[in-house]
Amino acid sequence: MAEQLIIRLASQDAGKIHWLVWSKSEQHIIASGELATDEELSQLSAKSQQREVIILLPSNDVSLKLLNVPAKSKKAIQLAAPYVIEDDVAQDVDALFFAYGNFVSPAGNCPIAFVEKERMSSWLLQLSKASIEADIVMPEVLAMPLAEDRWQAITLDDQVIVRQGQWQGATIDVNLWPHFTKVWSKSGDSVVVDAYSSLPQHDEHVDINYLPEELPLALMAQHLDTRRFNMLQGQFSIKKERSPILKTWGWVAGIALLALLLNVVGKGITLMQTNAEIDVVEAQVIDRYKQAFPKTQRVRVATVKSQLKRQLSLQSGSDSSGDFLALLTQLQPAFKQVPTLKPENIRYDGKRGELRMQATGAGYQDFERFNAALKNAFNVSQGALNNQGTSVTGSISIKVRDGGNS
């Protein structure tokens, strides 16, 4: 899919949730925002349709370890891994969910991510209640940039997200950041951190290299690799396969739909060929034209399109203005469908036959509904949307498709 919906869930059910819609092909933000709690997740349900959904989990809840397990087969390694770390974790390993990475390095043959089963179930239940189906679930630190000789960090709310290696990182409360930097500086290793935002006070022996500031989820969208790791494994695997019975009924429904379509097309052709119906349509066209231009003495159906263009040119003073008025007339039904979308600024390029509009709506759905109303007859290009609190502003470019009515 060309677009992704990226959602960063919170540690606590009442915590703030960040989200972003990202264009992979154009590498830019389509929309972004925050939700006060998980109770508002349903607001993202419509945005999750026809987009790849990436769920980022806070890394203070998900632990990463790269183990060296003395076993030969992949299955044996994964069965033994939980008990290798049994003495290093506070919880019973049976209460933990383990997901396994798909790479091997000199440092270990078994990369694992683990989290409390109850916490993982709670996150997925939040998404299910909001009618959001996740494609990828991963710890947020694995979506941060990766560099061999330095760490990467960015601040999100009151936490610092830092990636320390291919399979190492943490999410740290800002009030604990000075303590951690002091511990790192005492380890004897030189610590250099690339920072994409301002950071809290840190130990003087930790070298901070400040880079241009980034929106946290936009930074992660640019660097996450969904092919490398997905926590939707084992008991939390995605189950999308349909049963054979449903597949069979799908074929039956498809054949029935095709038969219905052929029947409708046949009746439509017969109707179009009926002279009486053609006469009625022609009379309606002439009548509507005379209502719009009462001074017209003679109207020919065969040339009514060119006559209409000429009348619009006379009314507006130029050919391009006539096209502009005609285009506005075609847009009127879409505006009626979305009355809360208000154009603030409209420009028309006569050479390109393109209308550019800056508009304000009550929410993101206004723009989605407006674009959907136009998609069959127009090429619509949606610009970036900005959340202004009680309203959303954005730009829309509208152009009649080649071969369409102008």
For a pLDDT cut of 90, what percent of the chain falls above it? Answer: 50
Which pLDDT score is estimated for 311? 58
Question: Tokens 């052929």 identify what position?
Answer: 262
The Cα–Cα gap between 155 and 161 comes to 6
pLDDT-derived band of residue 293, with 50, 70 and 90 as boundaries? low
**178-207 burial by CB neighbour count: b if 16+ within 10 A, else e?**
eebbeebbeeeeebebbbbbebeebbeebe
Asked if 253 and 192 sit in the same domain, the reply is no
Radius of gyration of the chain (CA): 29
Written as six digits, the tokens of 243 are 């049963």
Q: Please, which residues bridge with residue 258 across strands?
A: none
- Tokens 């730009």 correspond to 395
Question: Residue 72's pLDDT is what?
Answer: 84
| DSSP per-residue codes, 329-377 | HHHHHHHHH-TT-EEEEEEEETTTTEEEEEEEESSHHHHHHHHHHHTTT
- Please check whether residues 50 and 160 belong to one and the same domain: yes
Residue 373 lies in a domain: yes
**CATH number for the domain harbouring residue 230:** 3.30.420.370
Token output for 167 = 């399979």
Residue 143, CA atoms < 13 Å, CB-side half-sphere: 27
Look at residue 85 and tell me if it is in a domain.
no
Alpha-carbon gap, residue 150 to 148, rounded angstroms: 6
CA distances from 26 to 69, 215, 216, 225, 381 (A): 42, 17, 18, 17, 13
Give the whole-angstrom CA distance, residue 89 versus residue 81.
13
Has residue 84 been placed in a domain? no
Looking up tokens 């019973």 gives: 92
What is the domain count for the chain? 3
Q: CA–CA separation, 77 vs 110, rounded Å?
A: 7
Global pTM reads: 0.60
Residue type, 313: S
Average pLDDT, the chain: 85
SS3 of 393, please? strand
Same domain, 127 and 252: no
Residue 307 falls inside a structural domain? no
Residue 68 covered by a domain = no
- CATH number, domain of 376, equals 3.30.1360.100
Query: Does residue 154 belong to any structural domain of this protein?
Result: yes
For residues 158 and 268, state if they share a domain.
no
Verify that 147 and 219 share a domain, yes or no: yes
Question: Has residue 31 got a pLDDT over 50?
Answer: yes
Domain limits for position 130: 3-61+120-236
User: Is residue 230 domain-shared with residue 256, that is, in the same domain?
Assistant: no
Residues 344 and 382 in one domain: yes
* CB-count burial class (<10 Å; 0-12, 13-18, 19+) for 335: middle
In this structure, is residue 357 part of a structural domain? yes
Retrieve residue 136's tokens.
């990828």
C-alpha 1/C-alpha 17 separation (Å) is: 23
* Rounded distance between C-alpha atoms, residue 103 and residue 391, angstroms: 46
Average pLDDT for residues 83-94, to the nearest whole number? 90
pLDDT band at residue 240 under the 50/70/90 scheme? low
Q: Are residues 177 and 258 in the same domain?
A: no
Does 152 have pLDDT greater than 90? yes
**CB crowding 260-282: b at 16 or more within 10 Å, else e:** eeeeeeeeeeeeeeeeeeeeeee
Q: Which has the minimum average pLDDT: 145-154, 214-223, 242-251, 263-272?
A: 242-251
Same domain assignment for residues 19 and 143: yes
Q: Which residue has the higher pLDDT, 389 or 404?
A: 389
Q: Please indicate, yes or no, whether residues 51 and 160 belong to a single structural domain of this protein.
A: yes
* pLDDT tens-digit map of 348-389: 887 788 888 899 998 889 999 999 988 888 888 888 888 888
Residue 47 predicted with pLDDT over 90: yes
Q: What integer is the mean pLDDT of 19-29? A: 94
List of residues 6+ apart from 49 with CB closer than 8 A: none
Judged by DSSP in three states, 259 sits in: helix
Q: Is residue 125 part of a domain?
A: yes
Is residue 73 within 8 A of residue 189, CB to CB? The reply is no
Please check whether residues 202 and 268 belong to one and the same domain.
no
Residue ending a domain, among 208, 236, 264, is 236
Q: Are residues 153 and 206 in the same domain?
A: yes
Whether 177 shows a pLDDT value over 80: the answer reads: yes
Token pair listed for 181 = 């930097």
303-343, pLDDT tens digit by residue?
666 666 665 555 444 445 557 777 788 888 888 888 998 98
